[in-house]
């Protein structure tokens, strides 16, 4: 393998001896192992992996909907406790079990 280490300079990296054979065996075995995990042929591995990742994304999204509805309902309850304060509204209440990232990742209200 060639790697650039500067302007007009190249470094040659190589595996030799037992390390080269081990690397080659690992590289050759990896597609078959991935195919077996995905239940497909090595040639079909990219498509099968893509399909599994899409299914995972869909499942994660669907699992998040009930939590999002719960957070919106809690936000509505909190908004109902708002009191006038200097030309605006103020809600001061300790809320547990919610982190800022969980609120920031809520999908838009349908």
* Residue 52 token pair: 């599994």
Q: Evaluate if residue 35 carries a pLDDT over 90.
A: yes
The residues, any chain, with a CB within 8 Å of residue 85's CB and separated by 6 or more, are none
Overall average pLDDT of the 21-25 stretch: 87
Question: What is residue 24's predicted lDDT score, i.e. its pLDDT?
Answer: 86
* Residue 94 token pair: 């300790």
Q: Evaluate if residue 12 carries a pLDDT over 80.
A: no
* Residue 85 token pair: 């304060």
Q: Where are the domains of the chain?
A: 1-73
Question: What is residue 14's predicted lDDT score, i.e. its pLDDT?
Answer: 76
Residue with tokens 């994304």: 57
Q: Evaluate if residue 107 carries a pLDDT over 70.
A: no
């Amino acid at each position: 393998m060639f790697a650039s280490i500067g302007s007009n300079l190249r470094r040659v990296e190589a595996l030799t001896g037992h390390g080269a054979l081990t690397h080659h065996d690992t590289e050759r075995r990896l597609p078959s192992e991935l195919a077996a995990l995905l239940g497909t042929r090595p040639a079909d591995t990219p498509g099968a992996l893509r399909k599994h990742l899409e299914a995972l994304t869909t499942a994660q999204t669907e699992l998040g909907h009930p939590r999002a509805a719960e957070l919106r309902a809690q936000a509505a309850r909190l908004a109902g406790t708002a009191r006038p304060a200097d030309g605006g509204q103020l809600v001061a209440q300790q809320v547990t079990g919610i982190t800022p990232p969980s609120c920031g990742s809520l999908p838009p209200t349908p």
